[in-house]
């Protein structure tokens, strides 16, 4: 008999500053498209991050993945990198990528995907505010 496949979710958060800007555009184009999010001195968010891992229940532990291990992995790979940082200035990941919620979710996915066993599926949900959030992959 196959083991049951279950999705497990771990919620973490980090606080960061960012600015939306396309360096190939003029100042006016950036202001028009990104509005207040283009503020040259940055603004910030409390990002809520939900990491979703799908796999089979291990019959010995009853776990898909030990939440302590998953939580530690998120801390090392994501929170230490982005928490209390300016995403545009303090990180290599967003040197050439606009730190929209969409792009941040893709970057987080790629960072965690490299560290997770290939047998586990991964999905990222990221809340920029309570009312604006994204999920990747679709």
* Residues classed as catalytic: 37, 84, 128
Residues 22-51 that bind its own copies (CB under 8 A): 22, 24, 33-37, 39, 41-46
Q: Please state, in angstroms and rounded to a whole number, the distance separating the CA atoms of residues 57 and 138.
A: 24
Pairing of strands 85-86, 5-18: parallel
Q: For the window 58-97, what string marks contact with its own copies as x by the rule CB under 8 A? A: --xxxxx-xxx--------------xxxx--xx------x
Contact between 74 and 50 (Cβ < 8 Å): no
Residue 92 neighbours by CB distance under 10 Å: 7
Measured in whole angstroms, how far is the alpha carbon of residue 133 from the centre of its chain?
A: 11
Residue selected from 106, 108, 111, 122 as contacting its own copies according to rule CB under 8 A: 106
Indicate which single residue of 10, 31, 75, 77 sits in contact with its own copies (rule: CB under 8 A). 10
Q: Minimum CB separation from its own copies for residue 15, in Å?
A: 5
Peptide bond into 18 cis (omega under 30): no
Angle, CA of 45, 47 and 52, to the nearest 5°: 165
Contact footprint for its own copies (CB under 8 A): 4-13, 15-18, 20, 22, 24, 33-37, 39, 41-46, 54, 57, 60-64, 66-68, 83-86, 89-90, 97-103, 105-106, 121, 129-138
């Amino acid at each position: 008999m196959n083991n049951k496949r279950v999705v497990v979710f771990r919620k973490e958060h980090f606080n960061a500053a960012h600015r939306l800007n396309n360096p190939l555009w003029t100042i006016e184009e950036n202001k028009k498209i990104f509005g207040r999010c283009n503020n040259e001195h940055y603004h910030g968010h409390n990002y809520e991050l939900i990491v979703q891992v799908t796999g089979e229940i291990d019959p010995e532990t009853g776990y898909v993945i030990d939440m302590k291990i998953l939580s530690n992995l998120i801390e090392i790979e994501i929170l230490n990198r982005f928490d209390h940082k300016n995403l545009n200035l303090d990180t290599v990941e967003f040197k050439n990528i606009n730190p929209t919620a969409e792009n941040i979710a893709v970057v987080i996915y790629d960072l965690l995907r490299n560290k997770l066993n290939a047998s586990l599926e991964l999905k990222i949900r990221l809340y920029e505010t309570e009312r604006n959030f994204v999920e990747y992959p679709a």
